[in-house]
Amino acid sequence: MKFTSKSKKINKAWLHGHINDPYVKAAQKDGYRARAAYKLQEIDEELKLIRPGQVVVDLGAAPGAWSQYLRRKFAPKEAGVGGAAVGQLNGTIIALDLLDFEPIEGVHFIQGDFREDAVLKELEDTLAGRAVDLVVSDMAPNLSGITDTDAARVSLLIELALDFGQKHLTPDGALVAKVFHGAGYDDLVAQFRKTFKKVKTLKPKASRDRSSETFLIGIGLK
């Protein structure tokens, strides 16, 4: 019974914090599907990565907040009431996730596991030979709580994103990837430094303080 009571208190505290979170309130006001949109916005405002006309791949896209932000950047004069992603799209957005999400006008969605060869092939077929200007990855594995196992799962996803970037990014292209501080973090930073000319690490203000997440950004292939 003590465990149940404690769980209820934790859930109540989380719900209270979530409801009163300024980024959650902002997302509701601006029409974003999740507060995560502001993480990409902060990264973009800091590094000026997103410009109309680009080809962008959004990995781990569900529920779609990052694709929404990209969509609005590609049609800045066409945003509807509440920031709805509408109007003529100047650019290409290909979103991929294991989970389905509600369609976004002009965004090509692929449902599947990025770790599977068949899904990667579908993504490559959709690109039809076009080079990619930007890869954004909010992918995260289901965490087990076992440090070494979780570190390996995170590393695999980042390594796949790096490999995809090396094969498909333009010479000046960029990769934004969510990582977690802990086991394997330094190795991932080292891999980014081997792959890109410029590497930045950012923890947006929109990331929760208690979260160990941060974002690695690599710009310009070596």
- Residue 58 maps to which CATH number? 3.40.50.150
| Domains held by the chain: number | 2
Same domain, 168 and 103: yes
Tell me the per-residue pLDDT of 62-113, one tens digit each, with 9 for 90 and over: 999 999 999 999 986 655 444 445 667 899 999 999 999 899 989 999 999 9
Tell me the per-residue pLDDT of 24-76, one tens digit each, with 9 for 90 and over: 999 998 989 999 999 999 999 999 999 999 999 999 999 999 999 999 999 86
Longest Cα–Cα distance in the chain:
59
Same domain, 135 and 98: yes
Given a contact cutoff of 8 angstroms between Cβ atoms, the answer to whether 70 and 109 are in contact is no
Same domain, 57 and 45: yes
Cite the active site residues: 178
Tell me the per-residue pLDDT of 128-176, one tens digit each, with 9 for 90 and over: 999 999 999 999 877 766 667 777 888 999 999 999 999 999 999 999 9
Same domain, 193 and 177: yes
Same domain, 156 and 73: yes
Same domain, 49 and 119: yes
Same domain, 109 and 21: no
Lowest mean pLDDT among 6-10, 16-20, 96-100, 131-135: 6-10
Is 158 buried (19+), middle (13-18) or exposed (0-12) by CB count in 10 A?
buried
CA distance 47 to 104: 25
What secondary structure does DSSP assign to 90-141, as a single string? Answer: -SEEEEEESS-----TTEEEEES-TTSHHHHHHHHHHHTT--EEEEEE---P
Same domain, 208 and 121: yes
**Better-predicted residue by pLDDT, 72 or 221:** 221
Same domain, 17 and 65: no
What angle is formed at CA 63 by the lines to CA 58 and CA 65, rounded to 5 degrees? 65
> Would the pTM count as exceeding 0.95?
no
CA distance 100 to 84: 20
Same domain, 85 and 11: no
Name residue 105's amino acid.
E
What angle is formed at CA 200 by the lines to CA 132 and CA 33, rounded to 5 degrees? 65
Q: Smallest Cα–Cα separation from 191: which of 218, 211, 169, 154?
A: 218
CA distance 149 to 97: 22
Distances (CA, A) of 211 to 80, 174, 176, 182, 184: 33, 24, 18, 12, 17
Question: Which residues have CB under 8 Å from 4's CB, separation 6+?
Answer: none
CB neighbours of residue 180 within 10 Å: 18
Same domain, 115 and 202: yes
Same domain, 12 and 111: no
Q: Which domain holds residue 12?
A: 1-30
Name residue 108's amino acid.
H
pLDDT of residue 82: 44
